[in-house]
Structure formats: C-alpha cells, structure tokens
Structure 1
C-alpha cells in the first residue's frame, strides 16, 4: 500500500510536469532545464514530438542511474519519464496567457512542485535530476541549486536558437523551479537533535533500529528533581524528523527534545 501511494504521487506529479510544459512553457518557447530542456529544443526544431526526445535522451542517463542508484529508483524514474512523455503527447500545447513572464513564473512553480515531489518519493524525471542526485550523495549541497547550475547550459543553447529575451525567461523559470524543489526536497537540511529522557536505553535502541545515524549518549541529572537522565545527541536530516517524532511518542512522550538546524556537518555522516 505504501508503494502504491508513492507510485500514485509519482504518476500524478509526472502528469503535472506534462501540463506545465505544454500549457505554460512550450507555447512561449520558454524551456525547462537539463535534458528535458534540450528535448524541448529538439521538439521545437524537428517534426518529432518533445515526448519522444525525452525518452531518447534519457536512455544513457537511466543506464548510469541503474548502476549507481539501484533498481527501485530507476524503475520509478522510467515510470516518471514515460508518464511525462505520454502526457505531453495528449495534453494539447495551448497558450492560456499572452504574457511570457507569467507563463515562465507559473510554469517554473508547477515544474518545481512536480520534480520536488517526484524526487522526494525516490524517483526522478531522468536527465540532470539523476546527475544531481549522484552528486549530492558525494557533496552535501541543495539539490535545487545544483540542478539550476547544471541547467544553465540550456539557457545559453536556447539563446542561440531562439530570442535572448526568451532565454532569460527560461533562466527565470529554471531559477524558480530550483527554489521550489529545495522547499520540497529537504534532505540536504541537517538538524541537531538533543533528547533528554529517563528511558535512555529504550530510546537509544529505537534510534539505532530506525536511523542510520550514530548517537552520542551523555549522563545527565535534573537540576530540580535530581533525577538521573540520559542525554542523546545526534544529527539527522529533515526527512528523518518524522521518524523521531513517532519513536519518542511511543517510548517517552514526556522526553525533553531540542531541535535546531545545523550550519555544517563534518566527519563521518552518511548522506544516503
């Protein structure tokens, strides 16, 4: 059931991408980034529909992802790419506003929501998403900013093939997409977690069972109650915070918990 829900979100988000491309971006020749943007260029310059180009250009990248990111991720990505391509074949390319700026903004927002949800639920839209995910596993940086940097090449290409003002609209759309992705895909955000509890052993075991993080345990004592406590400290991603909430609710609802955002993590921190 969990996988069915995940797959439903991936499919719905992929259809949203096709809608954003055909309704907001393509009618004004405003492109999205990366491989999909290059596919849009080919779709505008050749008789072959953009949906076909997305599939063709993603084949070598999907093979790379299969080798580096695993079977489930790539199967989800293939489904996402296929649904996006098919939706672009059946959703008509129609201009709902004559304002290219509005189209760039709304197209960028919808694209960011679609890509952010797709990546959050362990999939990708192929192309530079796969490259970006591979890179953030090595360097802990915001995915949206990384994709924006990778996608900037599309702006230069579109400037040569189309008008430079449209290239700037493309840059705006890609920038907005990157911001929205970072609001949804928050794995790069690290949190300092400190838990003060009288049930230290149970909490310690639950953390080790549910997280892939090291935990430091400090002996403590309540200043007023003089009761012995355990202080557990670790660093987690924002995605893991929901797991922590459930664990503490089940084991020690009265535990004192302090959470703050970490500026930087050095040392042995698993980034998977």
Structure 2
C-alpha cells in the first residue's frame, strides 16, 4: 500500500510539473513523455491520451518480459500520469521560461525518483533500460542520453532552439534529481550479510542474471556464523533486489557500494 500511494502521488506530481511549468512554455521532458508533450502541443489530442498510447507497446512487452511487481507498478504510474495530464488544466505558473524549465525538471525528477524507489517506473525509456539491463551489460546511460538528445533536437526543429536549450536544462535537472532520490551510480556492488545464506542465494540466482559470490563470516560480538553474498547489479535493479533481500531475510545487513568499473563476466546469462 505504501508503494502504491507513493507511485500515485509521484505520478500526479509529474503531471503537475508538465501542465503547470513545461507545456505552457513548449518545453519538453525526456523520453516518450517528451514526445507525448510535443505531439500534444502540435495536435489537438490531449497529452495524457498520447502518453498512454505511446507507452502501450512497451507495457505489453514489459508484461511478457519483466517481473509482475515491477510492470504492475509501472502500468499504475503510466495510467495515473496519463489521467492526471488529461484532468489537470494547462496553466502557466510562471512567466519566466528558465524558471519553468529548471523547477519543472526538478519536480519531474522528484516524481520519477520516488517511483523508482517504490519499485516501479514512469514507463517509456525506463522499460527499455530495464529490459536491456537484465540481459546485457549495455551502456544504458549513453542509450538514454542519445534518445533524450533526439528529443532535444526535435524540439529545436519544431519550436525554436531556445526551447531546445530549455528542454536540455529540464532533462539535466530531472536526471540529477532522480539520481539523488534513487541512486547516482550506474553499477552497484552489494555486500549482503545474512544468517540465511542458502535462502538468499536461491532468491538472487532465481531472479537476477548476475553472478553471486558467497563467503563465510563470523559476527565479532555474537560469535555466530554468517554468510556474506556479494553481487554487482545495475541501478535499475536496486529496488527489485531490495524486495528480494527482504523476502529472504528481513534482518540481513546490506552494504551498497559504488562500482567504478567491472572487468570480467558481469552477465551470468552470457555463459
């Protein structure tokens, strides 16, 4: 229930940022939402309807390829965002386009970041990133940057290059805030200390396409034996892994570290 409330509230916040700050100044957001905003401005079709239509193919693919929990939350987010865009009136909250792009990007980043924390996504390029991150060590940051760069270029050709630069400011602010709320690193190393090593191993191997290393350890104070499981994941998997760890052992101690570089076989499915 907590995750559902968080996703609903965050999705409404994103819709508010679009309709009150970005759309009135012809500033786009990143991803498919940015394309939906563009089409909503140049056509009579509401942005909410366009956002839902553009996300439908990816949602269908996600239902077939991704976990039920993640895709259910993502569908909820896309539906709430689309309905909110349809219901909330477009209103120019500020006359300054720079303030609109900056604070619009910040609010969108807050919303998307909290959706990530609740084990979901706002759809669009996030689903593509999740699909790729599960199977290959793909440069997701570069992929999303290229896609967003395309949105910026389209904004420049359709509206003006001033609008394109403001769109770039908005996307940059969104990315920084998402990283702050969620996590700022593309790859993460998890050190999981647990008394239920076998159960934890089975859950991780069954749900991740990543290798897991197990080490023996002993509690300094209690003297009791423990297992230390180490694995490297992408940031898109963090919310899912948190859920897996909680399911196997709610008392597990987890240390999450920044991983600068991975050498060797990162993807277990590539064997």
> What interval of TM-score do these two structures reach, taking the shorter chain for normalisation?
0.7 to 0.9
**Equivalent runs, 1:201-212 vs 2, <5 Å:** 202=195, 204-205=197-198, 207-208=200-201, 211-212=204-205
Could you list the runs of 5+ residues in structure 2 that have no partner in the other structure? 206-210
1:147 aligns with 2:144: yes
2: CA distance between counterparts of 1:71 and 1:192?
A: 23
Deviations along 1:111-138, whole A, 9 cap, x unmatched? 1121222233232222222112212223
Deviations along 1:78-126, whole A, 9 cap, x unmatched? 2212211221122221222222111111111111121222233232222
Shift of 1:188: 3.9
CA contact (8 A) 1:159 1:166 kept: yes
Q: Tell me the secondary structure at the aligned position of residue 158 of structure 1.
A: helix
Residue aligning to 2:188: 190
1:124 and 1:270, CA in 2 relative to 1: closer, same or farther beyond 3 A?
farther
2: CA distance between counterparts of 1:270 and 1:149?
A: 27
CA contact (8 A) 1:148 1:178 kept: no
Residue aligning to 2:49: 52
Report the aligned-residue RMSD: 3.5
Q: Tell me the secondary structure at the aligned position of residue 95 of structure 1.
A: coil
Shift of 1:62: 1.6
1:90 and 1:29, CA in 2 relative to 1: closer, same or farther beyond 3 A?
same
Could you list the runs of 5+ residues in structure 1 that have no partner in the other structure? 250-256
Residue aligning to 1:247: 251
2: CA distance between counterparts of 1:219 and 1:48?
A: 61
1:16 aligns with 2:13: yes
2: CA distance between counterparts of 1:184 and 1:145?
A: 20
2: CA distance between counterparts of 1:188 and 1:128?
A: 15
Larger Rg: 1
Q: Tell me the secondary structure at the aligned position of residue 251 of structure 2.
A: helix
1: CA distance between counterparts of 2:61 and 2:77?
A: 16
1:10 and 1:144, CA in 2 relative to 1: closer, same or farther beyond 3 A?
farther
Residue aligning to 1:123: 120
Residue aligning to 2:132: 135
1:66 and 1:94, CA in 2 relative to 1: closer, same or farther beyond 3 A?
same
Residue aligning to 1:33: 30
Deviations along 1:7-31, whole A, 9 cap, x unmatched? 1111111101100101110111111
2: CA distance between counterparts of 1:194 and 1:127?
A: 32
Between Structure 1 and Structure 2, how many residues are aligned? 253
Shift of 1:39: 1.2
Q: Tell me the secondary structure at the aligned position of residue 97 of structure 1.
A: coil
Residue aligning to 2:208: none
2: CA distance between counterparts of 1:209 and 1:218?
A: 17
1:261 and 1:45, CA in 2 relative to 1: closer, same or farther beyond 3 A?
closer
1:98 aligns with 2:95: yes
Q: Tell me the secondary structure at the aligned position of residue 154 of structure 2.
A: helix
CA contact (8 A) 1:192 1:262 kept: no
1: CA distance between counterparts of 2:81 and 2:224?
A: 57
Shift of 1:170: 0.4
CA contact (8 A) 1:193 1:236 kept: no
1:155 and 1:218, CA in 2 relative to 1: closer, same or farther beyond 3 A?
same
Tell me the TM-score normalized by structure 2. Answer: 0.77
